[in-house]
Structure 1
Amino acid sequence: MFVRLLVLSTLICSAFGAGTAVKKCSGNKPFPLEVRVLNCDVPPCNVVKGQDMEFEIDFVVFNYTTTMKTLVRATTIGLTVPYELPDDVSNVCKNLKYGAYCPLYPEEDVTYKFIFPISNVYPEISVKIEISIVDQTKTVVSCFVCDIKVRKGSSVGLQIN
């Protein structure tokens, strides 16, 4: 009986996925409740140039929040630069899941689906990305760091004549 329960619990956890082991940002910024990176449990997460990286971020707001935006900073070889996102990608309110929408009220917890586009011109290197969600007053609502390894896409099926 115990074995059946253990197997059932394992199947349920596998179906929903466990959180990815991301790190806290510096400066005591609020940390998300959980972050799930598609196909990555333990960073560095492998990402392919020209494809998207998919995150689900569970977090709590602590103030009345009418708008939120995602900011990304990339750090490699000692250099930190902002990573510009298209407006439709950086708009958190438009990408909330499970029927949630803005405005949000204090102590509300939500899930945000963040699709992070990896440019074709991005170099094939290891990068630390800091993902911050900020509200209408530019206050950090949630922040975490995830290490990634950018890889070249597969050339399967391509022919050079």
Structure 2
Amino acid sequence: MNRPRLDSPNPIVLAEIQLGSGYKNDVRTVGRKQFALRNMQVKVLVLISLGLLSLAAGQQEHPATTVKKCSGSKPFPLEVRVHNCVTPPCLIVKGTTQKFEIDFAVDKYITQLTTLVKATTLGIITVPYELPADVAAVCPNLQYGAYCPLYPTEDVSYLFSFPIGEYPEIGVKIEIYLVDQDNEIATCFVCDIKVVKGNGGNTLYELDYLN
């Protein structure tokens, strides 16, 4: 007498027995498609997890910086991380590039974003700070796989590489804002910086008007 099988039969084999050999190819094709779909879902989950881990690691490496709101009711970022600076005024070496990570959300459909900067010195003199086109372009510098166009309620992280060129070695209040294709402000913040020499002397000019 044959011993009864305790394991469950292969569902594909069972289907072939029940439906007949004419359905063999169709059943096996469905099985392969289901396996491929599950495999794709696993890959997507892995990619999402890696992206979240990268975002968390980046935020731990560069903690949030205390920045101020712009005048009026301009949208304020979710978070700003000025590399190597938690509490402004941030000391920035003249002739270097300062990294800003700007997390913000949008409330409209956006196809283009441009970074604009205004600098205020001596508390009264405000001038625009011209940026190279590739530096001012926001969309190519979005992080963690984000890209334009952006959709309402979407939040993204933008890496702004701010070249510190002809600033005098004094305290400066900078206003950084991102404008969209309709010339509307998507987000805006103010950060106080103090420019220092980079030749080892670290000469610093303290000014009280920043406070």
Quick check: TM above 0.5? Answer: yes
Q: In structure 2, how many angstroms separate the alpha carbons of the residues matched to 1:36 and 1:28?
A: 22
Q: Which runs of 5+ in 1 are unaligned?
A: 1-11, 157-161
**Which among 59, 68, 71 is matched to residue 113 of structure 2?**
68
Scaled by the length of structure 1, the TM-score of the pair is: 0.86
- Larger fraction in helix: 2
**Which among 83, 90, 98 is matched to residue 45 of structure 1?**
90
Structure 1 residue 111: deviation in Å?
A: 0.1
Structure 1 residue 16: deviation in Å?
A: 3.7
**Which among 159, 162, 178 is matched to residue 113 of structure 1?**
159
Distance 1:155 1:19, change over 3 A: closer
- Which structure has more relative contact order (CA 8 Å, sep 6+)? It is 1
Query: How many positions carry a matched residue from both structures?
Result: 144
Q: In the alignment, what sits opposite 1:9?
A: none
Structure 1 residue 155: deviation in Å?
A: 4.3
Report the 3-state secondary structure (helix = DSSP H, G, I; strand = E; otherwise coil) of the residue aligned with 1:111.
strand
Q: In the alignment, what sits opposite 1:35?
A: 80
Q: In structure 2, how many angstroms separate the alpha carbons of the residues matched to 1:22 and 1:130?
A: 10
Runs of 4+ aligned residues of structure 1 deviating over 6 Å after TM superposition are none
Distance 1:14 1:103, change over 3 A: closer
Identical aligned residues as a percent: 62
Answer whether contact 2:62 2:84 (CA < 8 A) is retained. no
Structure 1 residue 122: deviation in Å?
A: 2.0
Give the aligned CA root-mean-square deviation in angstroms.
Answer: 1.6
Larger-Rg structure: 2
Q: In structure 2, how many angstroms separate the alpha carbons of the residues matched to 1:110 and 1:22?
A: 18
- Larger fraction in strand: 1
Q: In the alignment, what sits opposite 1:57?
A: 102
Scaled by the length of structure 2, the TM-score of the pair is: 0.66
Residue type at the aligned position of 2:162:
F
Q: Which runs of 5+ in 2 are unaligned?
A: 1-56, 202-211
